[in-house]
């Protein structure tokens, strides 16, 4: 198994051994697994970033927030907050070459900062586990929809009929459990195989496939949909439609879509070679993620408009509105199926990065083997996911809600709105304030002008931006 780290099998407490740690350039730490090429790292990180967030969430929140102006704010947030925080995460992982928990431990020590900072690693492991427990269920909807589309369920279906198909699926705990289980097994099976033989092998196949499928769908929308209206919807900046709330949604999403704040990107960075440039890699990852979100919008909105449907339908946009559009169009059965396969691929390559921080820690500390760790984390997440499944049916009633939220809403809220922004805030504060500037200078190797820009962003802009998302999420703003 070329992908698993040889270090995982040595009984050796690396994180606490500062003598070896100080020597990490010298070869000891090369025991930690590495991507085989820079491209492999890029594809894995793009795979993590491009997910349900891009194809399912971005189009519907754009629809809910009126289109163009929202998109512009989102792009600004990616540039001003997302990119600096992503650079920080990759840099920390690459410097320490360990799991996020040990990375924060060891770098806090190196930088003379408090041991408190390792909370970033712990909260990330926990957030990943929470997110996976609902991500897997939603990805399961997409899997069920591959079968529905392919078998012609949506052909010439009415809006109400499509709503009934969706209601029938989420109202059926058994069907949801089957797909949730299948998706979890697919995810764990990849992580269990390790970095090179598992994650890398998967993303090298899936990411090009995803791009091709997306381009096919955009071409279809160009030919058969109202492409001009879709384009205008995404890119006409009508600021009258922009509320304070939209700005905060855009900022939160910029964060979620880049997989920031929980160590997923940090752990991927830890497998990166020492001689590759972090800044330009991160720039390309962020651009790729953004381009995919915009292309997804360009695949979806023209079809929605061509069929006189509503772009502001909310979470049902992709699962109710879009199938109606496909159902009404020539070739819709085929292209609809392609769309849902794409959604599954996007979700799969993201889900693996939700498990990796915890698995990396358990196997690096030799608490258990990578294979065991992967299945165990998957099992816990799967069990917690049963609650997600039930929150759409048996537990959907008010008597099961806490603060007006179902179990699913609660987990989504806690992880996406609280833990991720908080993790990101701490990462920015650690790099910008707790650690010395020399750490970032050494690791990033930027020209002084570019470095100053990064420094300004990571010390001031990003923490303020993230603090605003966070305070808003907990109701203090």
Residues that bind ligand TRP in the complex, under the rule CB under 6 A: 48-49, 51-54, 256-257, 259, 262, 264, 350, 353-354
Q: How far is the CB of 6 from ligand TRP (least distance, A)?
A: 26
Closer to ligand TRP by Cβ: residue 134 or 407: 134
- CB of residue 428 to ligand TRP, shortest distance in Å: 16
CB of 135 to ligand TRP, least distance (A): 7
Q: Count other Cβ atoms within 10 Å, centred on residue 394.
A: 11
Could you tell me the CA-to-CA distances from 117 to 260, 263, 468 in Å, in that order? 16, 13, 21
State the nearest-atom distance from the C-beta of 270 to ligand TRP, in Å: 14
Name which of 133 and 353 has its Cβ closer to ligand TRP: 353
Please, which residue, 21 or 135, has the CB nearer to ligand TRP? Answer: 135
User: What is each CA distance from 74 to 186, 291, 340, 466, 468, in whole angstroms?
Assistant: 32, 12, 25, 14, 15
**Cβ closest to ligand TRP, residue 213 vs residue 306:** 213
To the nearest whole angstrom, how small is the minimum distance from the Cβ of residue 313 to ligand TRP?
19
As a residue count, the chain comes to 477
Q: How far is the CB of 54 from ligand TRP (least distance, A)?
A: 5
Residues linked to residue 405 through DSSP beta bridges, in sequence order: 402
How many CB atoms within 10 Å of residue 134? 26
State the minimum distance, in angstroms, from the CB of residue 201 to ligand TRP. 18
Q: What is the DSSP string of 460-472?
A: IIHHHHHHHHHHH
* Of 28 and 49, CB closest to ligand TRP: 49
Contacts of 248 (CB under 8 A, 6+ apart): 468, 469, 472, 477
Q: Which is nearer to ligand TRP, 21 or 256 (CB)?
A: 256
Of 309, 337, 338, 334, which Cα lies nearest the Cα of 321? 309
Q: Considering beta carbons, is residue 120 or 309 the nearer one to ligand TRP?
A: 120
From the number of C-beta atoms within 10 Å of its C-beta (0-12, 13-18, 19+), residue 316 rates as middle
- Cα-flanking dihedrals φ and ψ of residue 402, to 5°? -115, 125
Distance of CA 476 to the CA centre of its chain: 26
């Amino acid at each position: 198994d070329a992908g698993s780290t040889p270090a995982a099998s040595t009984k050796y407490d690396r994180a606490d051994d500062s003598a070896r740690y100080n020597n990490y350039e010298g070869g000891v730490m090369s025991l930690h697994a590495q991507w085989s090429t820079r491209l492999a790292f890029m594809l894995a990180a793009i795979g993590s970033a491009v997910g349900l967030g891009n194809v399912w969430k971005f189009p519907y929140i754009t629809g809910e927030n009126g289109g163009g102006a929202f998109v512009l704010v989102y792009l600004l947030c990616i540039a001003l907050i997302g990119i600096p925080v992503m650079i920080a995460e990759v840099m920390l992982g690459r410097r320490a070459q360990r799991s996020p928990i040990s990375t924060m431990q060891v770098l806090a020590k190196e930088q003379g900062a408090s041991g408190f900072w390792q909370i970033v690693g712990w909260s990330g492991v926990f957030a990943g586990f929470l997110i996976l427990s609902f991500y897997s269920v939603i990805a399961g909807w997409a899997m069920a929809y591959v079968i529905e589309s392919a078998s012609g369920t949506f052909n010439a279906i009415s809006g109400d009929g499509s709503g009934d198909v969706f209601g029938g699926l989420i109202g059926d705990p058994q069907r949801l459990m089957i797909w949730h289980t299948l998706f979890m097994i697919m995810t764990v099976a990849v992580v269990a195989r390790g970095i090179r033989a598992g994650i890398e092998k998967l993303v090298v196949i899936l990411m090009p496939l995803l791009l091709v499928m997306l381009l096919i769908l955009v071409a279809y929308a160009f030919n058969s949909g109202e492409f001009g209206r879709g384009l205008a919807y995404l890119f006409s900046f009508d600021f009258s439609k922009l509320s304070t709330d939209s700005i905060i949604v855009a900022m939160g999403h910029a964060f979620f879509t880049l997989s920031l704040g929980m160590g997923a990107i940090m752990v991927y960075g830890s497998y990166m070679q020492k001689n590759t440039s972090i800044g330009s890699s991160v720039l390309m990852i962020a651009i790729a993620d953004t381009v995919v979100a915009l292309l997804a919008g360009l695949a979806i909105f023209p079809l929605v408009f061509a069929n006189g449907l509503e772009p502001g339908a909310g979470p049902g946009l992709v699962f109710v509105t879009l199938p109606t559009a496909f159902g009404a169009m020539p070739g819709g059965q085929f292209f609809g199926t392609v769309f849902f396969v794409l959604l599954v691929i996007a979700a799969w390559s993201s889900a693996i990065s939700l498990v990796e921080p915890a698995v990396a820690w358990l196997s690096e500390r030799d608490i258990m083997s990578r294979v065991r760790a992967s299945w165990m984390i998957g099992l816990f997440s799967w069990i917690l996911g049963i609650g997600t499944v039930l929150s759409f049916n048996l537990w959907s009633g008010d008597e099961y809600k806490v603060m007006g939220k179902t179990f699913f809403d609660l987990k989504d809220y806690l992880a996406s709105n609280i833990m991720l922004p908080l993790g990101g805030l701490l990462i920015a504060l650690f790099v910008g304030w707790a650690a010395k500037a020399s750490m970032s200078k050494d690791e990033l190797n930027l020209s002084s002008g570019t470095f100053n820009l990064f420094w300004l962003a990571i010390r001031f802009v990003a923490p303020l931006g993230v603090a605003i998302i966070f305070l808003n999420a907990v109701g203090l703003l």
